Chains A and B, each alone.
Chain A
Amino acid sequence: MVAGSWRYVWAYVFVCAVMLYLYVPIAVTVLFSFANSPRLSLPIEGLTLDWYSRALDNPLIVTALRNTALLAAISAVGGCLMGTAFAFGVLKLRQERTRRVLLGLGLLPAVVPLLVIGVALAVFFRTLGSKPGLFNAAVGHVLISLPFVVLTLNARLETFDFSVLEAARDLGATPGRAFLDITLPLIRTSVIGAGLLAAALSLDEFVVTWFNVGTELTAPVLIWGLMRRGVDPSINALATMLLAALLVLILAATMTSRRAPQ
């Protein structure tokens, strides 16, 4: 029994260490966004909000935030509409194999390095003669958020009891009416959750954006530019704001999908 409880302690330590590994970078970013020494080292002497005011004084930040919000909204709406329709379409297919293949293809962009997606899109748009800019970046954002929307919605629909739709049709509802009365209320939270996830992915997306956005700015592109220039604690302030937005979106996404009726 003693050996057993030691094993339990080791297991506990391991899990905590992994969580620390995942979360220390985030904690460090937040911590140093408030630290008053510009050297980013311990010990921290005092707290300040200076970096935030410096970050917000950056004349480019308004454009960057506006563009980021725009892209996030486009991926949320575009990814959601197409991803939801796709997930439903896949479930309507009769053949198990066709379903699996289509689903696999739908997830493919998630396993291709973002670098490759980014340059492939850049090549494609250049061939078409479309100048790099927000539109091109938006296409990239929708593309990389779609697999996650499909995955989320598919997980929900796998447990969806389709006989309630048949019941509604049987009781006199047209297909459209059954969708509005039954399907939509039942999957709404999952769709919103997937949309929030898509927005979060877009908010954080840098690689594909960088190859396609041209001279336009988004928040991650701005942060990248600052990082390349050297140590600047206002990056931490900017990053913390981005993290806060991401955290809100992700928590909202997981909360909504957990509340979905089974």
Chain B
Amino acid sequence: MTAGTAHIGMREYGHDAREAARAAVMLSPAVLFYVIFFGVPMLSLLVLSFWHVEGFDIVADFTGANYQKIASSGLYRDILLRTIGLGLLTAAITVPIAFTLSYLMRFVFPHKAQFILQLVLVSLFSGYLVRIYAWRTILGKQGLLNSALQWLGAIDRPLEYLIYSNFAVIVTLTGLLLPLAVLPIYSSMANISRDHIEIAADLGSRRLHLVRTVLIPMALPGIRTGFAFTFLLAAGDFVTPSLVGGSQSIMIGNVIADQFRGTGANWPLGAALAFVVMAAVMLIVIVITHLIRRVTRW
């Protein structure tokens, strides 16, 4: 590391105290901003989750009442379970699609990979609300899909379950989050050289076996990130269920949002719900990645 390449990389750059001071000056605005407007708010949310509401006032004390209420209420438990279920299902659909797309980009269409990636990236930034609303247009009772199917004669009556249903929520969330799964999975796959695949093929690995023993383990960091992204962001979304979901697809995000901007607002309860859902998701992500690693080990 020292002699030959030292000055090419930045590893050796900025060694002395003056450079360290300069680095600190450059880092400090963003670090301060993060601490004040991200760290402190997250902490205040956590603190708030231990306070409680009396009448219309928030009382600053330390009580686990909100968490108790969440644990003991059948309603919250159901909604929480549904949120996790829908989030998992979304991640379980999104990640394989993203994996397959990344695989095809990397090994089947390597020359078009940059272009495809560009398309995926552009879609990520093009209209969050707009795309959710568009799915309402597509999946609606009189919507695009139903009228197209009727016109084709495939169905006589509009399919009711297309909109205001868990189906609609999953279709929409998958569309929204797919790019976020493709990016980490593709970039971890970009590091796998073709040689690895060809060597494994030479050694007689059958296709599925190859995917399980070579590709998935090597792309695991990206898969894990993509899975965590989609699961967490799906479980934390409240716009999708409120625009395309039905009465049976209220998610914890809706409940949290209502605690902050609804009529019967209860901020401390909302804060506690937010931490419960994040903790639950985190826990499940850890368990599942462990499982994936064990399944793909041999």
- On whether the beta carbons of A82 and B9 are closer than 8 Å, the reply is no
Asked if A262 is an interface residue, CB under 8 A from chain B, the answer is no
The minimal Cβ–Cβ distance linking A251 to chain B, given in whole angstroms, is: 7
What distance in Å separates the Cβ of B115 from its nearest Cβ neighbour in chain A? 10
Contact A88 B26 (CB under 8 A): yes
CA distance A22 to B117 in the complex (A): 12
Q: Is B129's beta carbon under 8 Å from chain A?
A: yes
Collect the chain A residues with CB atoms within 8 Å of residue B8's CB: 161-163
The contact string, 1 if C-beta is below 8 Å from chain A, for chain B 242-276, is 01000000000100110011000001001100100
Tell whether A61 is near chain B: CB-to-CB under 8 Å.
Answer: no
B201 within 8 Å of A (CB atoms): no
Stretch of B28-36, B69-77, B290-298 contacting A (4+ beta carbons < 8 Å): B28-36
Are A41 and B147 in touch, CB under 8 angstroms?
yes
| Least CB separation from A132: chain B residue | B261
A120 B104 Cβ-Cβ under 8 A: no
**Inter-subunit contact B44/A123 (CB<8 Å):** yes
Would you call A102 and B131 a contact (CB within 8 A)? no
Q: Check B41 against A28 for contact (C-beta < 8 Å).
A: no
Of the stretches A48-56, A66-74, A91-99, A184-192, the one at the interface is A91-99
Q: How many residues of A contact B (CB 8 A)?
A: 87
A105 and B7 CA atoms in complex are apart in Å by 27
Given contacts A92-B26, A162-B9, contact A146 B116 (CB under 8 A): no
Which chain B residues numbered 10 to 37 have a C-beta less than 8 Å away from chain A? 10-11, 13-15, 19-20, 22-31, 33-34, 37
Inter-subunit contact A14/B101 (CB<8 Å)? yes
- What residues of chain A lie closer than 8 Å to B129, measured between beta carbons? 204, 206, 220, 223-224, 227, 239
Partner of B130, one of A26, A43, A124: A26
Q: A224: which B residues are within 8 A, CB to CB?
A: 129, 239
* Cross-interface CB contact of A93 among B14, B45, B143, cutoff 8 Å: B14
User: In this complex, what residue of B is CB-closest to A233?
Assistant: B137
Q: Could you tell me if A22 and B14 are in contact, using CB atoms closer than 8 angstroms? A: no
Counted as pairs of residues, one from A and one from B, with CB atoms less than 8 Å apart, the total is 255
Chain A stretch 123-141: residues in CB contact (< 8 A) with chain B? 123-124, 127, 139
Report whether B41 and A123 are in contact in the complex, using a CB–CB cutoff of 8 Å.
yes
For B119, list chain A residues within 8 Å (CB): 19, 22-23
Given A42-B151, A143-B38, A210-B261, A204–B127 Cβ distance below 8 Å? yes
Q: Say yes or no for B63: interface residue by CB 8 A criterion.
A: no
Cα–Cα distance between A201 and B140 once the two chains are bound (Å): 28
Q: Are A25 and B138 in contact (CB under 8 A)?
A: yes
Give the contacting residue for A242; candidates B48, B127, B138, B175; CB below 8 A. Answer: B127
Q: Bound complex: CA of A254 vs CA of B114, how far in Å?
A: 12
B137 touches A11 (CB 8 A): no
Q: What mask results when residues 31 to 45 of chain A are scored 1 for a CB within 8 Å of chain B, else 0? A: 010000001111100
Q: A32 — which chain B residues lie within 8 A by C-beta?
A: 137
Given known contacts A29-B137, A42-B148, A121-B41, A22 and B179 CB-to-CB distance under 8 angstroms? yes
Name the residue on B nearest A8 (C-beta): B108
Contact check, B23 vs A92: say whether CB atoms are below 8 A apart. Answer: yes
Name the CB-closest residue of A to B14.
Answer: A92
B38/A82 in contact, CB under 8 A: no
B80 interfacial contact with A, CB 8 Å? no
Q: Is the CB of B236 within 8 A of A116?
A: yes
Chain A residue contacts of B23, Cβ below 8 A: 89-90, 92-93
Chain A to chain B contacts (Cβ below 8 Å), 21 pairs: A8-B108, A14-B104, A15-B101, A18-B97, A21-B174, A28-B137, A41-B143, A82-B30, A85-B27, A85-B29, A88-B26, A89-B28, A92-B22, A106-B34, A115-B236, A115-B253, A119-B257, A124-B37, A236-B137, A243-B127, A247-B122
| Among all A-B residue pairs, the 8 with the closest Cβ atoms | A113-B236, A89-B26, A25-B134, A89-B27, A92-B23, A124-B41, A86-B30, A120-B41
B residues lining the A interface (CB < 8 Å): 7-11, 13-15, 19-20, 22-31, 33-34, 37-38, 40-42, 44-45, 48, 97, 100-101, 104-105, 108-109, 116, 118-123, 125-131, 133-135, 137-138, 140, 142-144, 146-148, 151, 174-175, 178-179, 228-229, 232-233, 235-239, 243, 253, 256-257, 260-261, 267, 270-271, 274, 278
